[in-house]
Chain A
Amino acid sequence: MTAGLLEIRARRHVLDAVVDLDGSATVTVLFGPSGAGKTTLLRCLAGLEPLDGGSIDFAGTRWNDGTRIVVPARHRSIGYLFQDHALFPHLDVAANVAFGLRALPRAERPGRVERALSAAHAGHLGSRPVPQLSGGEAQRVALARALAPHPAMLLLDEPLSALDSTTRASLRTELRQILVEQRIPTIVVTHDRTEALALGDRLVVLVDGRVRQVGTPVEVFDRPADEVVAGVVGVETAVTGTVLAARDGVVQVDVSGRSLSAALADEESPAAGSPVVVCIRAEDVSLQSRRSDAVTSQRNQLDVTVTRVTVEGALVRVDLDAGFRLSSYVTRPAREDLGIVEGARLVATFKGQAVHLVPR
């Protein structure tokens, strides 16, 4: 697969991004609030829209020069997954997947179609007419169609947003597996944290057209570079953990030697031993003194040490060391009652429902 350096410079969004699409970081997530121009950027990358200035270079070739499209969409060798699939309704599934294979000798096309369909876990759909596909099936077929010509780069525009929540959850993990197997440099645009955590090897945070932070999803979510990024990703603990056991909708997860309980909503329970990203939002974590014998119904109780105290408006944000980084919001009176200062030793409690697991 061609890997390379993607350089984007655009005037409208003052965008300066260099995305290194090497083999080690396969999936790059462009993350930002809705309306930040993420889709527009993806369309410019695909050659569907001109830039208003600046340039796009891919692997040493200039694709866009100012407002001029130097290499048109059909010569960019990219796979593009549209939000609403954009399958050709007059062709069946196999013909849709074969649509991009005109350069391939006729005899080789059926085999390529079959492999692309099975890579996208849609092997059984071959002869189905497109209008009869469900949302999840259509998305698999669209992915197979994008994969079939062996593109140099895959662009996914909010790939799961058009699906219902159950399909989205199951396809999310699967999509990650497919993308890793294919080893095609991929750029995913999303405003969904779970999607970003589940799919990305690297996260690029875009705010107002500027790249604010680049890092692994866990790094960015766990340690936002500045307040702007924190505002976009939310104050959240995001750490990697391993599933220990799952029973009756409750999952035990090991995080840095601490065992946490997570209550599953309606998602499928992850298998023991599988890696997950554990997310805990600061507003769900409460603090109490270690001496307190108040009985709590909360599932998770961790001994923590205060590492930093920051006043944020009416609330006080308390950063904690629990073997991993954890944050909590408390009120100012609570801060005084509990004597929260750096180095103070407390107990952090939070419900199982507050622990959000994202399978990887």
Chain B
Amino acid sequence: MIDGEALALTARLAFVTCLILITLAIPLAAWLAYSRRRWTVAVEAVVALPLVLPPSVLGYYLLVAMGARSPIGRWWESVTGEPLAFTFTGLVIASVLYSLPFAVQPLMAAFSGIDRRLLEASFILGRGWVSTVSRVVLPLSRVGLVTAIVLTFAHTVGEFGVVLMVGGNIPGETRTASIAVYDAVQSFDDRTAAVMSLILLAFSAIVLVATYALRKSPLTVWPRS
């Protein structure tokens, strides 16, 4: 009735994705928020692409890139001895890309809101970028940071199309909770579909209520104002 394996896998996927994404998104968001170069606009657009792209399209390109016929897929297989497509690792990579805007945009919004003079004061006092971001920017962006983590986690839990394309439906490896719901409906297992859906619904609702309460202001992920 409850696909515990799928739930555990979903939690693991969301956790790993979150961890990787926050480490990636902090420097990326800082660069996008503070760089004076004009072409950061193009990078910003690429980061936001998963928001508008159909998950199946993103999934298709990822599948092509990870497949045994692509240089990336071949290189990965030669290094690790395992394929990328239809594995947990492939799923993590897909999730990271798919949830990228959900991590980068709240951080960017928070970073841009910080008085630039504080950063300049930090530089003049002898600090470099890494120290300035960790000692000044992040402590002043707590809400943005928590929002980024929560949204990334929730969005990864909720993804479906990309997982289906890249991961397929391998129990214990790539079969996430949302896939389990789909699978249950396909095989007329109404009870499992209902219970799993309810769990996901409750989780999403709780996460959003918590996030709204934290921000005490309307949550807009896109477009960034």
Q: Which residue of A lies closest to B126 (CB)?
A: A74
Judging by beta carbons under 8 Å apart, are A86 and B128 in contact?
A: no
Query: Which residues of chain B are within 8 angstroms of A72 by Cβ–Cβ distance?
Result: 123
Is B140 within 8 A of A48, CB to CB?
A: no
Q: Kindly list chain A residues whose C-beta atoms are within 8 Å of the C-beta of B223.
A: none
Q: Are A99 and B122 in contact (CB under 8 A)?
A: yes
A82 interface residue (CB < 8 Å to B) = yes
The verdict on B118 contacting chain A, using a C-beta distance below 8 Å, is yes
Instruction: Indicate whether A238 reaches chain B with its CB closer than 8 angstroms.
Output: no
Instruction: Decide yes or no whether A149 CB sits under 8 A from chain B.
Output: yes
Chain A residue at minimal CB-CB distance from B142: A90
> Is B136 interfacial (CB-CB < 8 Å)?
yes
Q: How large is the interface on B (under 10, 10 to 19, 20 to 34, 35 or more residues)?
A: 10 to 19
Quick one: which of A75, A86, A90 contacts B140, CB cutoff 8 A?
A: A90
Q: How far is the CA of A72 from the CA of B128 in the complex (A)?
A: 10
**Cβ–Cβ < 8 Å partners of B125 in chain A:** 74, 99-100, 145, 149
Query: What range describes how many residues of A lie at the interface?
Result: 20 to 34
Chain A: minimal CB distance from B106 (Å): 18
Instruction: Tell me the chain B residues, 122-138 only, with Cβ under 8 Å from chain A.
Output: 122-128, 131, 135-136
- Given A80-B121, A82-B121, are A90 and B126 also a contact pair (CB < 8 Å)? no
Min CB distance B174 to A, Å, is 42
A255 within 8 A of B: no
- With A and B bound together, what is the CA distance between A74 and B127 in angstroms? 6
Taking a contact as CB atoms under 8 Å apart, the answer to whether B139 and A73 are in contact is no
**Complex Cα spacing A300 to B135, Å:** 59
A196, CB-defined interface residue at 8 Å = no
Within 8 Å CB of A78, what residues of B? 124
Q: Does B117 contact A (CB under 8 A)?
A: yes
Once bound together, how far apart are the Cα atoms of A86 and B122, in whole Å?
10
Q: Which single member of B127, B128, B139 contacts A90 (CB below 8 Å)?
A: B139
* A48 surroundings in chain B (CB, below 8 A): 120, 123-124
CB atoms of B127 and A102 under 8 A apart = yes
**B123 A82 Cβ-Cβ under 8 A:** no
Alpha-carbon distance A145/B117, docked complex (angstroms)? 14
CB of B117 within 8 A of CB of A82, answer yes
Which residue on B lies nearest to A78, using beta carbons? B124
**A88 interface contact, C-beta 8 A:** yes
- In the complex, are the beta carbons of A73 and B123 less than 8 A apart? yes
Given A74-B125, A77-B126, output 18 extra A-B contacts at Cβ < 8 Å. A46-B120, A46-B124, A48-B123, A73-B120, A74-B128, A76-B124, A82-B117, A82-B120, A86-B118, A86-B120, A86-B121, A88-B121, A90-B140, A100-B126, A102-B127, A102-B131, A145-B121, A149-B126
> What 4 pairs between A and B have smallest CB-CB spacing?
A100-B125, A86-B117, A73-B123, A86-B121
Q: Can you list 25 A-B pairs with a CB-CB distance of less than 8 A?
A: A46-B120, A47-B123, A48-B120, A48-B124, A73-B123, A74-B123, A74-B124, A74-B127, A75-B126, A80-B121, A82-B120, A82-B121, A84-B117, A86-B118, A86-B120, A86-B121, A87-B121, A88-B118, A88-B121, A88-B122, A90-B139, A99-B122, A100-B126, A149-B125, A149-B126
Query: CB within 8 Å of A: which residues of B?
Result: 115, 117-118, 120-128, 131, 135-136, 139-140
